[in-house]
Chains A and B, each alone.
Chain A
Amino acid sequence: MYGPGVGIVSRGFRGRGRGDDSGRLPPGQYLTDDFPVLSAGPTPHTPIDEWSFTISGGTEPVTWSWKEFRALPSETVTQDIHCVTKWSKFDTDWAGVSVDTLLEHVDYDRAYAVAYSDGGYTTNLPIEDLTGGKAWVAFGYDGEPLEPEHGGPARLLVPHLYFWKSAKWVRGLRLLDEDEPGFWETNGYHNYGDPWREQRYWGD
């Protein structure tokens, strides 16, 4: 939250971001045609034959090889995405496996999840934000395989939350009883990250 004095006028500032009257742009965001990259370290390059995806925390862990993962039913979706660094991008096209599809193979009774990635990145989400057609493990972008710098071979896609929740290079989910803040969530960023409530940072 900005402090008291909110709304002081910046002399001579006119801005030019008006014109998005679609109601699709969350507060504090601007629209871009670019696809900026935000990551905290080097881009990992995991060979496909060493890649696997694991969901643990159910009665037993379930693991898919790349081949098994790609054999699962997948879908293409068009989504607006919102990064905490203020850019939003409309109508991005993804191909991926719904997390609902993955969880059909897992016998669990948990409320929270931590997604973990090559390179050590983690992010936490309530399971209800990963289910009900709201989240995917995406392997394609704009009709092409997902580029490494954008999270390929596969990333989580949770477009209704700020995009840091959509973990790049994702390798699995740990299902948990208790919430467990992830990488950015322990480094100053909001635990939940709803762009429509502008939950960017601690204290929002």
Chain B
Amino acid sequence: MTETPRVRTLILDVPALVGHRAGQHVDVRLTSEDGYQAERSYSIASAPGQPLALTVERLDDGEVSPYLVDDVVPGDKFELRGPIGGYFVWEPDGATEPIFLVAGGSGIVPLMAMLRLRRDAGSTVPAKLLYSSRTIDDVIYRDELQHIGADVEQTLTRAQPPGWQGYARRVDIQLLRDVAFPPEDNPRVFVCGPTSFVEAVAEGLVALGHRPGRIRTERFGGT
């Protein structure tokens, strides 16, 4: 399923699927005919209990992502390992604290698994998503986000379509102050995106009084 010009969701038919938790990732291993192998990690987009979905962004200098985004067709096979990770996860059972999710670009993927789980589980935990994309065409899950049942705030940092109602700048401390649950509500915070984005968001939230131990981060890319 094509999400944006650079992003595709793959639905995988996994034999002996082990249940996953929202926020976890899997490792994908590709093998060429001459036996060369390449492995990368991808966040799971689907809620637990749903067919396993990976949403992958093509990195132009990547080795695995161009294959997964451009070349894979239904019926193709590759190896998976996981699910992996026990920290950047959210579970609705017994949860009462609000969740504040902050996504930069394809950092939306593990957070979408949490929002889908929250919806599927009928959780009444208050949830807000702050989602930063470059342009409207880069927004992943654009339609589904409109009925995900959470308060969704978006910012478009590079260009905005006519009549755009959302924010139009990089996430800064004022934007976080406007959107985030106040620290007194003791929200659980999950931040995922490129390193510089996650650094800025996490530091902004700490400056606003959120306890560092409540903020869980996952980063990708170099510096």
Contacts and interface: CB of A to CB of B under 8 A. Distances in A.
A86 interface: yes
Interface string B33-47: 101111111000000
Contacts of A18: 36
Contacts of B217: 39-42
Given A16-B63, A41-B202, A36 B85 contact: no
Contacts of A197: none
Interface of A: 1-3, 5-18, 28, 30, 32-44, 85-86, 119-120, 147, 149-150, 183-184, 186-188, 201
A132 B221 CA distance: 33
Given A9-B31, A36-B220, A187-B86, A43 B203 contact: yes
A35 B205 CA distance: 25
B216 interface: yes
B215 interface: yes
Contacts, number: 118
A11 B76 CA distance: 7
B219 interface: yes
Interface string B206-220: 100000110111011
A13 B199 contact: no
Nearest to B28: A10
Tell me the interface secondary structure of chain A in the complex. Answer: loop
Give the 8 A-B residue pairs with the shortest CB-CB distance, closest first.
A34-B222, A42-B202, A187-B86, A10-B30, A37-B195, A13-B30, A10-B78, A188-B86
Contacts of A188: 84-86
Contacts of A201: 81, 84
B223 interface: yes
A131 B127 CA distance: 48
Given A10-B32, A18-B36, A85-B41, A41 B219 contact: no
Contact of B63 (A30, A42, A183, A184): A30
Given A10-B31, A40-B87, A15 B41 contact: no
Interface in B71-93: 71, 76-81, 84-88
30 contacts: A2-B79, A2-B80, A8-B78, A8-B79, A9-B31, A9-B32, A10-B30, A10-B32, A11-B76, A11-B77, A12-B67, A13-B32, A15-B32, A15-B38, A17-B63, A28-B37, A30-B63, A36-B219, A36-B220, A37-B222, A37-B223, A42-B205, A42-B206, A42-B212, A43-B199, A149-B195, A149-B199, A186-B86, A187-B85, A187-B86
Contacts of A13: 30-32, 38, 67, 71, 78
Contacts of B213: 41, 120
